[in-house]
């Protein structure tokens, strides 16, 4: 059985406070995009994991796909499986590729092994794997608060825009990104900004990670500037980076040598 985990972008991201447990409370809008990995499970004599595509930056046993499998095994009986993952979503990009793979693994196993787990329980299980994982269970535009695990569905659509993703060969760890941010309450509620036309987002919709990360890695800020110079109606870093996305009203020719570049139509 096969499925195709998709990436997400962040439309705005406010770091609003640090929690007693050391994590941070955020406010952001997750939006799914059709940049996809491929994930397959088949019956086997013993459980194994094989990855292809974009070169991994972690050991196979540390992959969130296998963590998701082992978390589900704690409560449910699963048969031995051969797991195959083809990576098309780049690592360290702020696109949620690893979280998507884990969440889709939970959904895939739920169907494959006929476990009949509801979405609510799947979201709770996904939260134990990673903060962004619960979003990908329902995989619909949502306002995310808390650590990113409290989700409120939104009637938001970016259809009609061309989406471009540009990721330089730069990696920013999540820990480093948070160390460069001073938590604060936003000037305007995110839902108020998102309700405005996309053409007005440039002046109001911000990602709090950008200020510190652009100083640390100017190349990321230059990509955002270039997207605007090429006609983007809105551009932003996604998550804690290092990818930057741009929304355009028409297809355009972009050239970013040495960078991962993807274009597609939001669904």
Q: Which residues are known catalytic residues?
A: 8, 132
Cα–Cα distance measured from residue 182 to residue 92, given in angstroms and rounded to the nearest whole number: 22
- Which residues touch 120 (CB under 8 Å, ≥6 apart)? none
Q: How far apart are CA 51 and CA 83, in angstroms?
A: 8
What is the rounded CA–CA span in Å between residue 257 and residue 2?
33
* Secondary structure, 3-state, the chain: CEECCEEEEEEEEEEEEECCCCCEEEEEEEEEEEEECEEEEEECCCCEEEEEECCCCCCHHHCHHHHHHHHHHCCCCCCCEEEEEEECCCCCCCCCHHHHHHHHHHHHHHHHCCCCCCHHHHHHHHHCCCCCCCHHHHCCCEEEECCCCEEEECCCCCCCCEEEEEECCCCCCHHHHHHCCCCCCCCCCHHHHHCCCHHHHHHCCCECHHHHHHHHCHHHHHHHHHHHHCCCCEEEECCCCCCEEEEECCCCCCCCCCCEEEEECCC
């Amino acid at each position: 059985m096969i499925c195709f985990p998709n990436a997400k972008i962040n439309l705005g991201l406010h770091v609003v406070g640090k929690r007693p447990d050391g994590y941070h409370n955020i406010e952001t809008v997750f939006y799914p995009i059709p940049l996809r990995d491929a994930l397959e499970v088949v019956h086997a004599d013993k459980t194994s994991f094989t990855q292809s595509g974009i070169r991994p930056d972690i050991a196979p046993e540390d992959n969130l796909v296998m963590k998701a499998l082992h978390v589900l095994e704690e409560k449910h009986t699963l048969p031995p499986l051969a797991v195959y993952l083809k990576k098309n979503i780049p690592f360290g990009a702020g696109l949620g590729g690893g979280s998507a793979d884990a969440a889709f693994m939970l959904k895939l196993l739920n169907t494959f092994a006929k476990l009949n787990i509801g979405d609510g329980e799947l979201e709770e299980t996904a939260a134990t794997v990673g903060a962004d994982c619960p979003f990908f269970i329902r995989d619909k535009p949502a306002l995310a608060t808390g650590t990113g695990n409290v989700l409120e569905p939104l009637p938001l659509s970016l259809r009609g825009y061309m989406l471009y993703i540009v990721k330089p060969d730069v990696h920013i760890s999540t820990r480093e990104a948070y160390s460069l941010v001073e938590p604060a309450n936003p000037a305007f509620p995110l839902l108020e900004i998102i309700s405005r036309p996309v053409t007005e987002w440039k002046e109001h919709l911000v990602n709090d990670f950008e200020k510190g990360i652009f100083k640390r890695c100017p190349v990321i800020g230059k990509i955002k500037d270039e997207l605007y110079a090429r006609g983007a109606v809105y551009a932003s870093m996604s998550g804690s980076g290092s990818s930057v996305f741009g929304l355009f009203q028409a297809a355009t020719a972009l050239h970013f040598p040495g960078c991962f570049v993807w274009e597609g139509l939001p669904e």
